[in-house]
């Protein structure tokens, strides 16, 4: 789930979610955020939770990543 910066939720934008898997491959999804939209849920049903190495969110203003618990 991606949460838009609360400092500028009135601005539309775009975000890409990249799932990097332990086998070195990756899957990604792009989303356009409407002005005022603060949350967007990304789903990767074909990717097993145990296969995920990290999740990276990329926007026009920055990026962040999450490393989950060891499976």
* Tokens describing residue 16: 């890409």
In a domain, 41, yes or no: yes
The total domain count for the chain is 1
Closest CA to 37 of 63, 16, 11: 11
In a domain, 1, yes or no: no
Closest CA to 60 of 29, 15, 27: 15
pLDDT at 44: 95
Query: What's the pTM value of the predicted model, to 2 decimals?
Result: 0.79
* Tokens describing residue 44: 């990767």
In a domain, 7, yes or no: no
pLDDT per residue, tens digit, the chain (71 aa), is 666 666 666 778 899 999 999 999 999 999 998 888 888 899 999 999 999 999 999 988 888 888 766 65
In a domain, 6, yes or no: no
pLDDT at 2: 66
In a domain, 30, yes or no: yes
Determine how β-strand 52-59 pairs with β-strand 13-21.
antiparallel
pLDDT at 38: 80
Q: Is the dihedral of CA 40, 17, 43, 71 positive or negative?
A: negative
Question: Which residue range(s) make up the domain with 30?
Answer: 13-66
């Amino acid at each position: 789930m991606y949460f838009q910066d609360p400092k500028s939720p009135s601005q539309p934008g775009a975000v890409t979610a990249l799932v990097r898997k332990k086998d070195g491959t990756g899957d990604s999804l792009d989303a356009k955020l409407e002005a005022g939209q603060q949350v967007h849920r990304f789903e990767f049903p074909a990717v097993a939770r145990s296969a995920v190495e990290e999740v990276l969110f990329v926007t026009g203003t920055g990026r962040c990543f999450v490393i989950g618990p060891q499976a």
